[in-house]
Amino acid sequence: MLSLLIAASLAGPDMRPLHHYRRTNGDGSEAEDIHVFVEAPDRVAVMKEKSRCTNAAYVTAALDPATGQATALVGGRLTRDLRQQPFAWLTASGDGTKLAARIGSADAPPSFEIAARPPWRIYDFDFADMAAHPPKAVGALADFSFDLPLILSRGDGFDFSNRGRMFLKGGARVRHFGGPAIRYRASGAAGRGTMWFDARSGVLLEVRLPLANHSEYRDFRLRLIRTHYGEAAWKATLADHWRGCPAADG
């Protein structure tokens, strides 16, 4: 994927992937659409929407282009002029072993600080970093693992904790969503579940886990709906969220 993104940035059609996922409970309830745009090998942007014309999350992350490990995330809302209105910042230090979350301002003192062992995946980022940068282990059917930090809303505040290590083992070639896939059994931090990846590209296809990653959910299912390509598709997706909506109050 890295070579594809570099080539696309130099010439030819814009082939940067825009993955459309849907997160739900295991029974399909509480559906939220998650759009993951791979802006560059070291950047990903994500828009999350439960329904049009309502508040939508807009999260951006800087990635290590060699490993896909996130180095910083900015949480915000999608404005009507299709920009990000930031309100939360997460930064890594100490070779990625210390994570600090700041609310309200990037310069504010940390609201939360935790320790984590790289690689790690912020669980409420819905594996967008993994979707943007497929794990190299998948192609080799190799086992891999990562820490699973989680930020949950609690009343009028937030709770930031590291759930521990999540393990993906037993990679096996199967058919999933009508095509060749690699299936892994998950254990550890999020409980026992299953993850599927596309056997050709390594792109994440589906996740089923018993641990919810948002307060209003009971468990976790994430599945790929479709993939588009290019910034024009990304801008159209953002614009469609507000198209035809009533004017904002004030």
Span 55-81, average pLDDT = 95
Q: Taking all residues of the chain, what is their mean pLDDT, rounded to a whole number? A: 93
**Nearest to 183, CA basis, from 200, 205, 164, 165:** 205
Q: Is the pLDDT of residue 2 over 90?
A: no
Question: In this structure, what token pair is assigned to residue 237?
Answer: 């997706």
- Whole-angstrom Cα distance, residue 201 to residue 180? 10
pLDDT at 167: 98
pLDDT at 154: 74
Question: In this structure, what token pair is assigned to residue 182?
Answer: 């690699």
Span 68-94, average pLDDT = 95
pLDDT at 7: 44
Tokens 């940390």, residue located? 110
Supply the pTM of this predicted model: 0.92
Q: Which of 49-58, 122-131, 151-160, 204-213 has the lowest mean pLDDT?
A: 151-160
Question: In this structure, what token pair is assigned to residue 136?
Answer: 């190299």
Tokens 């130099």, residue located? 10
Q: Is the pLDDT of residue 88 over 60?
A: yes
pLDDT at 159: 87
**Nearest to 72, CA basis, from 82, 86, 83, 85:** 86
Q: SS3 for 43?
A: strand
What percentage of the chain exceeds 70 in pLDDT?
A: 94
Span 104-131, average pLDDT = 95
Q: Is the pLDDT of residue 200 over 70?
A: yes
pLDDT at 11: 54
pLDDT at 249: 65
Span 93-109, average pLDDT = 93
What are the pLDDT digits (tens) for 184-196? 999 999 999 999 9
The answer to whether 37 and 18 are in contact (CB under 8 A) is: yes
* Confidence bin at 223 (pLDDT 50/70/90): very high
The answer to whether 166 and 145 are in contact (CB under 8 A) is: yes
The answer to whether 23 and 32 are in contact (CB under 8 A) is: yes
The answer to whether 114 and 149 are in contact (CB under 8 A) is: yes
Span 86-109, average pLDDT = 94
**Nearest to 135, CA basis, from 206, 225, 67:** 67
The answer to whether 228 and 18 are in contact (CB under 8 A) is: yes
What percentage of the chain exceeds 90 in pLDDT?
A: 88
